[in-house]
Structure 1
Amino acid sequence: MAKDTEKLIRQLSLISYLMAERRPVTATEIRRDVEGYSDMTEDAFARRFYADRAELDALGIHLSVDKPTDGFSEQENYSLAPEAFHLPPIAFTDAERAALQTALTLLDGEFAYAEPLRLALQQITWGRPSPLGSDSRQTIGLGITASAGGGETSARLAKIDTAIYRRKRIEFEYHTMGRDATEQRKVDPYHLLFEGGQFYLVGWSHERKDVREFRLSRIRGKVAYATKAEHDFQRPEDFDPRLYANRIPWQLGDTKGTAELEIPENLEWYIERQYGDYGTLENGVYKTDYSIARLLISWALEFGLRIVGPPELVQDARERVDKLIEDHRGEAPAVVPSRAPAVPVPVESNGRSRGGDAAIRPERFARLVTLATVLISAGKAGETLLVGDVCEQLQLSPTELREDIAVLNVVNFGGGAYVIYAEVKPTGEIEVDPEPYSDTFDRPARLLPIEAKALVAAIDLIGLAQADLRSGRSKVVDALGFDPVEEGLHIVSPKVDDDIMHRAEIAIQEHRLLELEYWTQSQDRYSERVVEPYGRINSREGWYIAAWDRSRGRLIHFRLDRIKTAQVLDETFEPNSELDVAADIGGWPRTGRIGGSRSARVHVGAEQARWAREQRPVLTEVEGGAVVVEITFKGLDFLVREVLKEAGDAVVLEPADAREAVLDAAEKLVARAT
């Protein structure tokens, strides 16, 4: 029998034994009665028992230990109260359960934590009918699902996830974009973030002697444990993971100064709502501290904002705009391809991929505990289970199911009393004979850390503004006794106005017309729309409302952050059954490429080329380290903004009308500043 299987049998038998005894027991009794310990020497038992307790503790299963006054470890008494193992009942409403099941339906197979999410939902909704047919399933589409983006990154994510909970120091090679160098890193992992389509590790860097963020896609090779110790570190009590979420790029690093930007009156609401956390807006002037001048200038150019101070920042911005004008006058500059072979750099997947590579497998312990609950419940009800149904329910192969059943058949609670006996018949049926005291596992167990993390992360990814998900999340956190966001995985959602999201949700669910005041950024124009809202989708840029615009006679996607006001009208509408909100989530929401798009060839200078390689398809490597990339665009306004955001480091080579559009926009910026 494999060592891992032996360990699982010991740990499950230990849990069952302690809960069945319902009294403190000594180490001597455990060694004598619990499956897997009896044939060990005293020294071997001491080591294995200590290691098993440590692993169970890391899984959130904490044994109570009464230490004797004389200090002899043999006299310690151990116990496990049922409430320390079983999940407290959670009184979900039908709507909350439907919303939680929708989370699994939308994310299954693509969310990096889809499998532990499935087990978590199995636990918290145990014994209730499945709401898979809920109408809410049709009102949400996800272009970004927080997948790990492939097998290699998934393996790193799984290793880091385990290291966080076991307090294990890790080491890996990391490519630092700022210096364009790959170096060895030794890190105490504290937390995981998913933001902007990417997973990030937050941890103590031993090389930098400070807390740093590491993007998982920039890790090279494998992630390894740095030592063989059980634990290497303790996370500081004052560490707050929320400080590392929703940070604005221009403020990363040591503050260089405070910028002042002139904000047009018609944009004050937008700056206040979206960027109020990073500065102050008063009398039409937005003040914000900055660390990286180029990134602040990039943001200002994207929105056409005039920088009015400090003088050195004003001068830097003016020089960058002047360069844009010079580079886009006349004929496009010639580029000389590099003779060196191009280094293939995969374009980012934007947080979504398909298949098993995207999934993190939950620990087998979690599978076994959940399977025990399923089997015992069926046995007590006199029901016969089918192999295919259980495999589908828990995402197991038939071979894995048979192996897991074999393990559970050996689990005991002392004195030769076993928990369950199950047999897979040649017909594909599973006959279950629960033992008289099998109530150890007849109720759902507490969610293991990875399951809790998966459940709350899925809720946060879909959006807390949805009332049923928000209330369901609160109940889950109350039952757990902690919020996994504080120690686990933090899904950082794009900022949206909660009131507008809530009103849109009401209109969608009640089929009521929605009146919008909408800002079209590309044209800097406001318009009032009365629409039939059908659902929400997320994309690379953020959340959208999919709605039928009556005045235009077509389905339009309205970005939530650009809706200034929204009012739910009393008038209802009859939904068009042929409209499918999620029909195109595999297209532009994921790739950013809209049907009928054109392509532009854009030269990016050597200083910014390494970032361009991560984000866009590289067409040509240029001598000196620059690159020519492809940018797809539907309208020229979009392309102009993308080039302006490069703050003078990008030049459109073709098409000619795109060059002229960038030149015109840059000259207008100069005219506005004079």
Structure 2
Amino acid sequence: MAKDTEKLIRQLSLISYLMAERRPVTALEIRRDVEGYSGMNEDAFARRFYADRAELESLGIQLTVDKPADGIAEQENYSLRPENFHLPAIAFSDSELAALQTALTLLDGEFAYAEPLRLALQQLSWGRPSPLNAPEQRAVALGITASPGGHDLSQRLAKIETAIFRQKTVTFDYYTMERDATEPRKVDPFALLFQNGQFYLVGRSHERDAMRVFRLSRITGKVAYATKAEHDFKRPTDFDPRDYAARAPWQLGEEVATAELWVSDRIAWQVERHYGRYGTLRPAEDGAVIFSTPYANARLLAAWVLRMGEHVRVVAPADLEREVAERLELLTERHRDGGLELAGRVGPDVTVADEEEEPEAPRGGARRADTAIRPERFARLVTLASILIEAGRKAELLDAAELRERLQLSDSELREDIDLLNVVNFGGGSYVLYAELREDGTIEVDPEPYSDNFARPARLLPVEAKALVAAIDLIGDHLPEGTLNSAREKIVVALGEDPTEHGLHVAAGTGDDSEIARVVSEAIAARRLLEIDYYKPNEDEFSHRTVEPYALVNGRDGWYVASFDPEREDVRHFRLDRIRSAEITDREYEPRPEVDPAAGVDGWLRTGEVATSRTARVWVSPERARWAREERRVAEELADGSIVVELSYAGTDWLVREVLAEAGDAVVLAPAEAREAVLATVERLRAVAAR
């Protein structure tokens, strides 16, 4: 029998024994009566029992130890209080359960924590209709699902998740963008962060003896444990992963100064709503505001200023003002005819069509090959035991195929788990259950006396709790029916802590659109027309629309409301962070069967490219080429290290802003009209700055 299997039998039998006895017991009684300990000598028992206790405590199952006054360890008494094993009852409303059902429906099969999320919802919905059988939800769609993104990244994510849980130092090779070099790293992993579609590891770098953030997609090769010790470090008590999720790109690193930025009245509302948490705002003349924001990287802040066009300009410090002016000069010089000379090509052109793409699994189906995080087998066994005992109490046969799908198990895994549970006992020959897989594909269960101890849901284990709360945070305030926020609050109270403080933290998007999202959600649920005041940055103007809202969907650039616009007789998607105001009317609408609000989920919402896009060829400097390779389609590699990329764009104004955001390190080569549009915009900005 494998060591892990022996350990699980011991731990489950220990829990069973302590709950069945319902009194403090001695170590001698445990050694004599509990399955797996009886054949050990005193030293072996002491080691195994200590290790099992420590592991159960790390899973959130705390044994009570009564120590005698004279401190003799052999006379310690052990017990397990029911509240230390069972999940407290949570009084979810029907709307909260509906919201949790929606979360699973949207994320099942794609979310990196999809499997522990299934187990968590199985536990939470105890005695009520299972969220696993919820009907498909059409009022929300996700283009961004916190998917692991391929086999290699899945393996890294799973290894790091385990290392965080076990407090194990990890080693790996890491590609550093700034130095364009791959170097070995040794890190104490403290937390995982999901932000802007990417997973990051936050931990203490041994090389720097300081906190660092590592993007998982830049880790090369395998992640390994640095030692064979049970634990390597203790996470500092003052560590908070939210500190690393609440920074603007220009604030990553050591602070160098605080910028004073003038923001026009036209977009002051947008800057306040979306960027206000990165600094402070105070009124200026004519409805404008002054945005004060600390920064660590002048280039990135200058790039943001340029992207905002004439609506933002630098007031102070002078160094940042000069940085913006120099970047404008560079943009002008490189976009003039003859201003940029391309180095020779290196090798053949590279296009997306030439690259091998990993085939996608159908949405909504299980993607076991890409599963990133699998729950601990202990969690799976406890959940399975509860399901089996419940069926036995009702004298019902279970369908094995349905149970495998419910818990995402293979046939061999289900058989192994049932065989293991059949030998878990309370001591003295009293077993928890006996289950038999019959030839007709059903499972017959005979629950034993005292098995009622497992007939209630167990506490959520750490990875289940993290999966549940991360799923809620990923979807946020974007459910037309039910609320995840109130469900989250109840779950945290039941757990006794917020799981994001010890594991995966899902960062909020740039735009704080929660108020708009709530109004839109109400309109969708009530099937009422929605009036919106919408800012179109391409034309730098506001438009007033009355639309039929169908669903909230997310994509690379944020959340959208998928709507039918009666005036234009077509489906339109409006980004929530561009809606200045929204109001529900008293006019109802009849849903149109031809409208599919999730039509873009597998297309432009994930890729950013629409079918009607044009393609621009854009040169990227050697200094920024490494970053562009991660995000763009490379068309040519040039001898000096620069590259030519292809950008799909629907509107020239959007392309101009993208190029301005590269602050002189990107130049439009074609088409000519787009290149001229960049030059005209830059000259206009220089004229405004010179006033």
| C-alpha distance after superposition, 1:242-299 (max 9, x if no partner) | 1111310111122222222221111111111111112222213222221111100110
1:110 touches 1:147 (CA, 8 Å); kept in 2? yes
Partner residue, 1:117: 117
Cα distance between partner residues in 2 of 1:14 and 1:388: 30
Q: Secondary structure of 2:137's partner?
A: helix
Partner residue, 1:203: 203
Q: Secondary structure of 1:127's partner?
A: coil
Partner residue, 1:394: 407
Partner residue, 1:422: 435
Deviation of 1:588 (Å):
0.6
| Match of residue 304, structure 2, among 277, 299, 305 | 299
Cα distance between partner residues in 1 of 2:598 and 2:34: 52
Partner residue, 1:515: 531
2:435 touches 2:443 (CA, 8 Å); kept in 1? yes
Partner residue, 2:227: 227
| Match of residue 361, structure 1, among 365, 371, 374 | 374
Moved more, 582-591 or 354-363: 354-363
Partner residue, 1:578: 594
- Does the alignment pair 1:598 with 2:614? yes
Cα distance between partner residues in 2 of 1:128 and 1:270: 43
2:351 touches 2:633 (CA, 8 Å); kept in 1? no
Partner residue, 1:617: 633
Cα distance between partner residues in 1 of 2:637 and 2:361: 28
| C-alpha distance after superposition, 1:74-123 (max 9, x if no partner) | 22211111111011111112221111011111111110000000010011
Partner residue, 2:295: 290
| C-alpha distance after superposition, 1:585-621 (max 9, x if no partner) | 0001101111111111111111111111111121111
Partner residue, 1:256: 256
Cα distance between partner residues in 2 of 1:489 and 1:286: 31
2:185 touches 2:205 (CA, 8 Å); kept in 1? yes
Partner residue, 1:336: 343
Q: Secondary structure of 1:141's partner?
A: strand
| Match of residue 470, structure 1, among 479, 482, 485 | 485
Cα distance between partner residues in 2 of 1:352 and 1:392: 16
Deviation of 1:340 (Å):
7.1
Cα distance between partner residues in 2 of 1:607 and 1:339: 17
1:617 touches 1:629 (CA, 8 Å); kept in 2? yes
Structure 2 unmatched ranges of 5 or more:
none
Partner residue, 2:451: 438
| Match of residue 652, structure 1, among 657, 660, 668 | 668
- Does the alignment pair 1:455 with 2:468? yes
1:146 touches 1:352 (CA, 8 Å); kept in 2? no
| Match of residue 320, structure 2, among 292, 307, 313 | 313
Partner residue, 1:540: 556
Q: Secondary structure of 1:234's partner?
A: coil
Q: Secondary structure of 1:578's partner?
A: coil
1:146 touches 1:197 (CA, 8 Å); kept in 2? yes
Partner residue, 1:565: 581
Paired residue total: 673
Partner residue, 1:588: 604
Cα distance between partner residues in 2 of 1:233 and 1:342: 48
Partner residue, 1:99: 99
| Match of residue 323, structure 1, among 320, 330, 335 | 330
Q: CA 1:118 to 1:133, structure 2 compared with 1: closer, same or farther past 3 Å?
A: closer
1:149 touches 1:358 (CA, 8 Å); kept in 2? no
Partner residue, 1:411: 424
**Root-mean-square deviation (CA), in Å?**
2.1
Partner residue, 1:158: 158
Cα distance between partner residues in 2 of 1:269 and 1:504: 19
Cα distance between partner residues in 1 of 2:500 and 2:564: 36
Partner residue, 1:504: 520
Q: Which amino acid aligns with 2:318?
A: P
Cα distance between partner residues in 1 of 2:201 and 2:362: 20
Moved more, 254-263 or 56-65: 254-263
| Match of residue 505, structure 2, among 462, 487, 490 | 490
Partner residue, 2:172: 172
Cα distance between partner residues in 1 of 2:494 and 2:344: 61
Q: CA 1:366 to 1:166, structure 2 compared with 1: closer, same or farther past 3 Å?
A: same
Q: Secondary structure of 1:213's partner?
A: strand
Q: Which amino acid aligns with 2:658?
A: E
Q: Which amino acid aligns with 1:311?
A: A
TM-score by length of 2: 0.94
Cα distance between partner residues in 1 of 2:342 and 2:551: 46
2:125 touches 2:131 (CA, 8 Å); kept in 1? no
Deviation of 1:510 (Å):
0.5
Q: Secondary structure of 1:593's partner?
A: coil
Q: CA 1:9 to 1:29, structure 2 compared with 1: closer, same or farther past 3 Å?
A: same
Cα distance between partner residues in 2 of 1:191 and 1:134: 32
Cα distance between partner residues in 1 of 2:341 and 2:584: 55
| C-alpha distance after superposition, 1:11-62 (max 9, x if no partner) | 1111111111111111111111111111122222222111111211111111
Structure 1 unmatched ranges of 5 or more:
none
Partner residue, 2:64: 64
Q: Secondary structure of 2:88's partner?
A: coil
| C-alpha distance after superposition, 1:150-184 (max 9, x if no partner) | 11111111111111122222221111212222222
Q: Which amino acid aligns with 2:449?
A: P
Moved more, 411-420 or 467-476: 467-476
What pairs up with 1:341-356 in 2 under 5 angstroms? 355-356=367-368
Q: Secondary structure of 2:138's partner?
A: helix
1:258 touches 1:310 (CA, 8 Å); kept in 2? yes
| C-alpha distance after superposition, 1:174-209 (max 9, x if no partner) | 112122222222211111110000111111112212
Q: CA 1:241 to 1:254, structure 2 compared with 1: closer, same or farther past 3 Å?
A: same
Q: Secondary structure of 2:557's partner?
A: coil
Cα distance between partner residues in 2 of 1:629 and 1:440: 62
Moved more, 92-101 or 587-596: 92-101
2:116 touches 2:467 (CA, 8 Å); kept in 1? yes
Moved more, 354-363 or 16-25: 354-363
Deviation of 1:496 (Å):
2.5
Cα distance between partner residues in 1 of 2:585 and 2:419: 60
Q: Which amino acid aligns with 2:416?
A: E
1:518 touches 1:527 (CA, 8 Å); kept in 2? yes
Cα distance between partner residues in 1 of 2:159 and 2:349: 31
Q: Which amino acid aligns with 1:78?
A: Y
